[in-house]
Amino acid sequence: MIIGIDLGGMSAKAACLRDGTLTKRVCVETSGSDTAEETAKTLASLARRAAEAAGIPYGEVEAIGIGSPGVIDSASGSVVLWSNYGWRNVPLAELVAKYAEKPVFVTNDANAAALGEAKFGAGMKYEDSILVTLGTGVGGGIIMGGKLFEGYRSAGAEIGHMVIRQNGELCTCGRRGCFERYASATGLIHMTETAMTGHPESALKDHLKPTGEVSGKTAFRAAREGDPIAQGVVDDYIAALGEGIANLVNILRPQAVILGGGISAEGEHLLKPLREVVLPNLYVSDEYAPFEIVCATLGNDAGLYGAAEYAKSKI
Ligand SMILES: [Zn+2]
């Protein structure tokens, strides 16, 4: 019996992984104003609550896996850097293990989600898959031969910071033209806003959030109504997303790329044109090495599944 914990900036969730499914999820608020020691204590008691909620004696829990934001040294289970919480070199696995009295393993939250989708979600059919999460940034993880690929000192697989446009837009990481500047929900919103300013007559203005703001859905919805400006935004967005995906696929050649995050809810409206961009740009044809683009299926549970699976792979 393994417990997975998904640690976020505002809260942490936990559940047991039993026979390939998660038991009842339990949740707790977390805060960056707590010390790392206090957060570890909170997570340890959350793990006990998860076992209790599942009706599992805590003694049967073999290990705890945590998916954490930030740069993680997964070999030691330390959070090397998590700027939101101001954490530097926090020995998270060690601290949680002290209070939980179980072995604890930590990986990056994006890697955990990739592992979760690969083993329990959209990637179950594949040995090799890449999760690309389209959210505030572009996160993701790489699964090769059924195993998580983290790079040296788990510092790799930062797919959002692959440059797709040299001297392009400035990224939060300091480089210019990163994949996530164009392919994230933030990137799409930015492109939509620019198009709206240039073409106030377009139907984009009819698909705003109730607050009057542009969302990641605005351009897709207006495009479906036949608005040419919106269609242009969607085409540009998909071209950028496809550029990055084709790069990843040409280097790593997974059997599938799994799209997660809010924009993946567009389903075939996104997937169909995306395949038309990616497939002709593959160096080795998909007739020889079949390749698919699919949507994630686990939603917010991917990280919990993956955190538990990560611990399971380590014990
Ligand atoms: Zn970057």
CA of 219 to the centre of ligand 1 (A): 24
Measured CA distances, 49 to 7, 28, 213, 218 (Å): 15, 10, 39, 41
Low-confidence ranges of the chain (pLDDT < 70): none
Mean pLDDT for the chain overall: 96
Pairing state of beta strands 147-149 and 138-144? antiparallel
CA of 165 to the centre of ligand 1 (A): 11
**CA-CA distance, 156 to 127, in Å (whole number)?**
19
CA of 149 to the centre of ligand 1 (A): 20
CA of 164 to the centre of ligand 1 (A): 10
Structure confidence by residue, pLDDT tens digits, 210-256: 999 999 999 999 999 999 999 999 999 999 999 999 999 999 999 99
Task: Write the CATH number for 69.
Answer: 3.30.420.40
CA of 154 to the centre of ligand 1 (A): 17
Question: Structure pTM?
Answer: 0.94
Measured at the CA of 11, the angle between CA 181 and CA 82, to 5 degrees, comes to 50
Residues 132 and 95 in one domain: no
**CA-CA distance, 232 to 304, in Å (whole number)?**
37
Residues 307 and 277 in one domain: no
Domains contained in the chain, number = 2
CA of 148 to the centre of ligand 1 (A): 22
What is the pLDDT, as a whole number, of residue 272? 97
Residues 146 and 20 in one domain: no
What is the pLDDT, as a whole number, of residue 292? 97
Residues 111 and 20 in one domain: yes
**CA-CA distance, 135 to 215, in Å (whole number)?**
12
